[in-house]
Amino acid sequence: MLTVFLQFLFSGLTVGSVYALVGMGFNIIYNATSIINLAQGEFVVIGGLLMWFFLESCKLPFLLAVALTILSAGLVALIMERLTIRPLKTNDLLIMIMVTVAVAIVMRGLLMFKFGKEPYSFAAFTEGDPLVIGGAVIQLQTLWVLGITGTCILALYAFFNLTIAGKAMRACSFDPTAASLVGIPVSRMIMFSFILSAMVGAIGGIAITPISLMEYDKGPMLAVKGFCAAMMGGLGRGRGAVVGGLTIGVLESMTAGYIHSGLKDAVALLILLSILFFRPAGLFGNAAMQRLKGH
């Protein structure tokens, strides 16, 4: 009884970590621009598929493959920002968000063209026997996923709250005019935010692929779950996305295990709807803070 519960819990925490990373990706760009980048899920897919490409197809050493994958994701984001967001010259957020949807569709097409429709995977980072806790089996890769997520979250928290570059990035979304006037290169900051969030997404993709496989069209679902995680915590708030992501992951896993696996994806949407309905500022966000941000 308890064993089964623990099993569901651990698998929920694992997927939940990736939702948290996707949610963080949303937050990063939102923190610099107030844009919601709906191509966020595609960067996770890029992470998984490119990692497979460099590792299994090019036979590169593990760390080099990781580095190349993360850099490539950053490069794709740079091109995306330069080609589609920057030339827009509009302040209409809705238009910019629609553009990210279009980019996501194009990216999915290219990924299918290159990789086809089948799922990909590669070996776990480390070999070894799984841990057994209370009868439940935990793959070592699960620990990697949790550890990597935790590290990313802490690093991003430190970046946005303790470094001047991180604060400057946030300042760009609060007040781009004032940011320019204190000498912050706003458009370069926006570009960095896209690169950073793509890299975080790719890291999530690399970590999760050995457990849950990766295929070209996983992006939209990941984006929905990650967005839900970010909304749950209140957009732009790091801690919130983590708690949101883990909660959604665990609830999904419990629903699939105890009720029916077909209901799994409905969980996130239900949560999203109830948040939008009852607490639009998120469970942790507060409305007063939202007002100061002016949106």
Partner 1 sequence: MLKLKNVDIFYGKIHAIKRVSLHVDEGKIVALIGANGAGKSTLLKTISGLHRPEQGAISFGDSDITRMAPEDIVRCGISQVPERAHVFKPMSVEDNLLLGAYHRSSRSAQTSIRHDIDRVYDTFPVLRERKKQLAGTLSGGEQQMLAIGRALMAKPKMLLLDEPSMGLAPIIAREILTMIAHLRQQLGLTVLLVEQNARSALRIADSGYVLETGRILVQGTADDLLANRDVQRAYLGRDAE
Q: Are 69 and 200 in contact (CB under 8 A)?
A: no
292 near partner 1, rule: CB under 8 A: yes
Could you give phi then psi for residue 91, rounded to 5 degrees? -105, 5
284 near partner 1, rule: CB under 8 A: no
**Nearer to partner 1 (CB atom), residue 274 or residue 286:** 286
CB of 286 to partner 1, least distance (A): 11
Residue type (1 letter), 263 = L
The Cα–Cα gap between 91 and 274 comes to: 29
Site string (165-194) toward partner 1, x via CB under 8 A = --xx-xx--xx-xxxxxxxxx---------
Q: Are 108 and 214 in contact (CB under 8 A)?
A: no
CB of 84 to partner 1, least distance (A): 22
**Nearer to partner 1 (CB atom), residue 211 or residue 289:** 289
94 near partner 1, rule: CB under 8 A: no
**Nearer to partner 1 (CB atom), residue 165 or residue 273:** 165
Residue of 13, 2, 3, 4 whose CA lies nearest to 252: 13
- Where do the H-state alpha helices sit in the chain? 2-33, 40-52, 62-80, 93-115, 140-162, 164-174, 176-181, 186-212, 219-233, 238-254, 264-278, 287-293
Token representation of residue 161: 């709250």
Tell which one of 78, 110, 251, 289 touches partner 1 (CB under 8 A).
Answer: 289
264 near partner 1, rule: CB under 8 A: no
86 near partner 1, rule: CB under 8 A: no
162 near partner 1, rule: CB under 8 A: no
157 near partner 1, rule: CB under 8 A: no
**Nearer to partner 1 (CB atom), residue 175 or residue 265:** 175
> What is the Cα gyration radius of the chain?
19
Query: Where on the chain is the footprint of partner 1 (CB under 8 A)?
Result: 164, 167-168, 170-171, 174-175, 177-185, 289, 292-294
